Amino acid sequence: MKNTINFAAMVLAAAFAGALSLHAAAAVTSKQAAGKSGAQFTQSYTWYDGNREQRVWLNPQAVAEFNPGKFSTREARSADGAAQLLPMKRKQRGVRMWRMNNIEGKAVHGLATRNPAGKYSPVFHDGASSSDHMRALPGNIIVYLNPTWDAATVNSWIKKRNLEVAEKLEMGPNIYVIKTAPGLEALTTANEIYLSGEVAAAFPNWWEEVSTR
């Protein structure tokens, strides 16, 4: 089922404009913050906000933990004896940030091994500085399929790719939340699906830091 999806530009300009504008605002914020002080990062990753290529920079000294449990502090300090909770601009329910050595994914791998039921992600920034907008990958991706596809075509595409639907969104036709593991798997899966040329958009279901005003 190969499609060149010439309809994508029209769809993204109209039905998806609201969702994409949120990501565009974040991109502008990251440019404005580029001159701020903070630790500097070198490893970047690409993701696609509709048909726009975006970049995020990996923070190798931080890990995001989602839905922390009773023993999460113990698990974190078992993975890295020097682990410390990082302050956030605004406290957000269900997420904690740890200062940990996550070079080459060491901390995330260790945590996932010790606590398979936990949800851990590398931490990324919209710029190369630790002062830039922060985000992480709690799991799942959002996919915008061809809005003209009927239910049978949608189901066939999902089955062909061995995907599992978490939710159908009502913000437009044929927009789905697809299940993935937390962390880099979500980013890799979203990129693979978008670059296949079969969909109008596919991007991670990002968690993003809430800024104070």
Q: What is the pLDDT of residues 43-61, one digit of tens each?
A: 999 999 999 999 999 999 9
Count of C-beta atoms within a 10 Å radius of residue 107: 24
Average pLDDT, the chain: 85
Residue with the larger pLDDT of the pair 29 and 51? 51
Q: For the domain bounded by 8-36+138-208, which CATH number is listed?
A: 3.30.70
Give the C-alpha separation, 68 to 54, whole Å.
29
Residue with the larger pLDDT of the pair 26 and 110? 110
Give the C-alpha separation, 124 to 55, whole Å.
10
65: pLDDT confidence band, cut at 50, 70 and 90?
A: very high
Q: What pLDDT score was predicted for residue 212?
A: 61
Residue 85 has which token pair?
A: 């909770």
Give the C-alpha separation, 152 to 93, whole Å.
38
Q: What pLDDT score was predicted for residue 213?
A: 58
Q: What pLDDT score was predicted for residue 27?
A: 42
Count of C-beta atoms within a 10 Å radius of residue 189: 21
Q: Where are the domains of the chain?
A: 8-36+138-208, 55-136
Query: Which CATH fold would you assign to the domain 55-136?
Result: Alpha-Beta Plaits (3.30.70)
pLDDT at 107 over 70: yes
- Report the predicted TM-score, pTM, of the whole model to 2 decimal places: 0.79
Q: What pLDDT score was predicted for residue 90?
A: 85
8-36+138-208 shares its CATH topology with 55-136: yes
Identify the DSSP state of 121: E
Q: What pLDDT score was predicted for residue 21?
A: 40
Q: Torsion angle, CA of 114/116/121/122, rounded to 10 degrees?
A: 40
Q: What pLDDT score was predicted for residue 71?
A: 87
7: pLDDT confidence band, cut at 50, 70 and 90?
A: very low
Percentage of the chain exceeding pLDDT 70: 81
